[in-house]
Every structure is written in structure tokens, then in C-alpha cells.
Amino acid sequence: MNKLAIFSGIFLVFVSFSAILAPWIAPYPYDFQNPEELLQNPGINHIMGTDRLGRDLFSRILYGARMSIFVGIFTAVSALVIGTIYGAISGYIGGKGDNFMMRIVDVIYSLPDLLLIILITVILGRGWISIFLALSIVSWVTVARLIRGEVLRLKESHFVESVKAVGAGHGRILLIHILPNTLGLLIVTLTFRCAAAILAESTLSFIGLGLAPPFASWGTLAHDGWSAIKFYPHLTIFPAAAIFFTMLAFNFLGDGLRDALDPQKIVSKHQSIKVSEGKL
């Protein structure tokens, strides 16, 4: 794996632990208000400044990371589980069943994601549960398409034909022999889906459909600071930077994992090692 991907993984671990340990790391509670320090610029007492209610922005970004990272990871995991099950079954059964299942995916895929998310959020109300459900509902279709294609390829492989010849059942073939061979694709997909989920949650929060005050995510913090960006840019720059660098880290990590888990590159690497050993 390349150094950039390793650094990105370390950065994401650091951000995750900072979010978990926010009550002990943050210098102030997330809802602590100081009327004497309204809209302070970054300084010694508040390294990222304060908002219009005198709340420490650094503390709120640490607490906001809990929501953003939680939604990103758990939404990606739920989409991965649903999409993997649906896509694997569709690809394995093939024929009319596969065609019918994929037409359902096409219908959902044709609808604008943001519109569906907003509709679901409005129906269920504001809160992390509605955001989690809304993002999960629209995220699994992409995973289902990817896994279906991989299963269609793998079920025609020689090792699957060999397993069928010895009388293995369909469930065993799918669960034991096909799905484990999609693990590399699933891991890479998970990292990219985390980044996409964080961006989607931030977008929802930015347009006012995120968490209700006083709770916050990075998106709600960016939304709160947008109205005063001309005079107090730090209110938007810091949460936006947190979103940007976290998404960038997930994408770099995904690229590194994709390269590391690519079977063709692994085979080529082993062949080059053998050639080098032969020369020696």
C-alpha cells in the first residue's frame, strides 16, 4: 500500500478516536455558552474561535465528528450489507429473477438521491435515525450493482464449476466460495461509501435537515457559519476543512486498498519477485 494511503488511514484513526474521546479532549462542553465571548476569532482561549452564542468551535467540531463519522461508517456498512445480499442473490440466480431484481434497482437508481433523502427526512423528522435510514435506503443500489457484476463473473469460474461437480449446494457455493472472493471489492467500496455518506450528511445538515440544536455535525456547523462567512469566515472554514480532509483521506485509503487488493497487481508483483530471485 502506498504511503499516502497509510497516512490517510492513520489520520482517520486519529479523527475517530478524537470523536470518541471528545468529552475528555474538548476544552468545553458542546453546549456551553459564554455571552462575554460571542464571535471571537481564533486565539489562545479558543483555538478555532467561538460562534454567535459564545460556544467554542473546536469543542463543537470534536463532538460533531461523532455524528459525521458515525453516519458515514454505519450508513456505508448497512448499504454494504443490503447491497451485497441483494446483488449476490440477483447475480447468482440469473435469468428472469435477476432481470426482475435489477429492474427494481434501476427504478430506485433513476430517482435523484438528494430528493429521496430530503423526502424521507421530512417524513421521519430531523434526527440521526432519519438521516441514517435515508442515506442507507439510497446507498445500497450502487453496491448491489457492483456485487452482482462480480458474482456474475465469479460463478462462471473454473473453481465454481469444480465445486458444483462435487455436489456442493447453491448456498454453500455462494457463501463459501463466491462471496469471499469479493472481499477486496467490498473493502474498497466501504471506504468510498463512507466518504459519500459523510458528504451526503453534510449536505443535508447544510440545507437545514440535519440534527436539531444544540447537537451538531460538521454540516450543521458549516450551515450555522455560512450566514456570517463574510465577517467571521472561521465559522465555516474549520468545519468545511474537517469534511474535506476526512473525505480526502477516505478516498486516498480506498485508492490504496484497491491497488493493494488488485489480484492482477499481486500476481505481477509475485512474478517480478520470482524474476529478481532468478537473476540473483
Q: What pLDDT, on a 0 to 100 scale, did the predictor assign at position 265?
A: 47
Helix (H, G, I), strand (E, B), or coil: what is residue 125?
A: coil
In this predicted structure, the answer to whether residue 187 has a pLDDT above a threshold of 80 is yes
* Mean pLDDT within 236-243: 88
Which segment, 29-43, 55-69, 218-232, 264-278, is predicted with the most confidence on average? 55-69
In this predicted structure, the answer to whether residue 273 has a pLDDT above a threshold of 60 is no
Q: Which residues, including other chains, have CB under 8 Å from residue 177's CB and lie 6 or more apart?
A: 159, 160, 163, 168
Q: What pLDDT, on a 0 to 100 scale, did the predictor assign at position 266?
A: 40
In this predicted structure, the answer to whether residue 27 has a pLDDT above a threshold of 80 is yes
Domains located in the chain, CATH noted: 3-24+56-279 (1.10.3720.10)
* Residue 178, all three cell numbers: 463466491
pLDDT band at 269 (very low <50, low <70, confident <90, very high): very low
pLDDT band at 236 (very low <50, low <70, confident <90, very high): confident
* Mean pLDDT within 190-208: 81
As to burial, measured by CB atoms within 10 angstroms (0-12 exposed, 13-18 middle, 19+ buried), residue 212 is exposed
Q: Which residues, including other chains, have CB under 8 Å from residue 84's CB and lie 6 or more apart?
A: 143, 144, 147, 179, 182, 186
Q: Which residue has the cell 479523527?
A: 15
Q: Which residues, including other chains, have CB under 8 Å from residue 19's CB and lie 6 or more apart?
A: 62, 63, 65, 66, 69, 70
* Mean pLDDT within 272-278: 39
**CA–CA separation, 161 and 119 (whole Å):** 46
**CA–CA separation, 30 and 19 (whole Å):** 12
Look at 263 and 115; give whichever has higher pLDDT: 115
Q: What pLDDT, on a 0 to 100 scale, did the predictor assign at position 262?
A: 61
Percent of the chain with pLDDT over 70: 89
**CA–CA separation, 244 and 201 (whole Å):** 13
Q: What pLDDT, on a 0 to 100 scale, did the predictor assign at position 1?
A: 58
In this predicted structure, the answer to whether residue 191 has a pLDDT above a threshold of 70 is yes
pLDDT band at 272 (very low <50, low <70, confident <90, very high): very low
Helix (H, G, I), strand (E, B), or coil: what is residue 16?
A: helix
In this predicted structure, the answer to whether residue 274 has a pLDDT above a threshold of 50 is no
